[in-house]
Structure 1
């Protein structure tokens, strides 16, 4: 408990976690379906997802396809990828967002 007090109130710690995740947001991701450049994306709550640093989803205005950007440990990202496939009922495509794409 003493360490938590040092890091701030629960609200301050939550805000700091949100800011850390948003700092990992790429400038854009490429739609896995039609290859459109997507800059509007929403953060996904990754609290409690061990090994996931940040995750975002963008819905393509051109084709309606959802594309995800996930950053974290390789195994955790693979597990989240499979969970997305299970939740959406469709096969998801994996891609890579280059480091140069960071804000």
Structure 2
């Protein structure tokens, strides 16, 4: 995005000091705007993914705190397991990935 901003700044300077046709200026400027839009989208995707993961993490931490504060659950309960876990995947390295019914994944 910095590169595109610098190119745009230079184009503005050139347009102010060199005779350039309006059509050429618009084509060049539209190209810079498109590059900036693409760069902005590429930056936004990981940020959205990060927000989603943070939200899932907070939900899971809250769920765990609630379970820990319950005196009822003192040992493994198959009914709770079945109600909460959708599936468990064993990775090639032996790591387990737990997928809850609400889509939250732990272990990735």
> TM-score surpassing 0.5?
no
Q: Which has the larger helix fraction?
A: 2
From the CA coordinates, give the structure whose radius of gyration is larger: 2
Q: Which has the higher contact order (CA 8 A, sep 6+)?
A: 1
Q: Which has the larger strand fraction?
A: 1
Instruction: With the length of structure 2 as denominator, give the TM-score of the two structures.
Output: 0.23
Instruction: With the length of structure 1 as denominator, give the TM-score of the two structures.
Output: 0.23
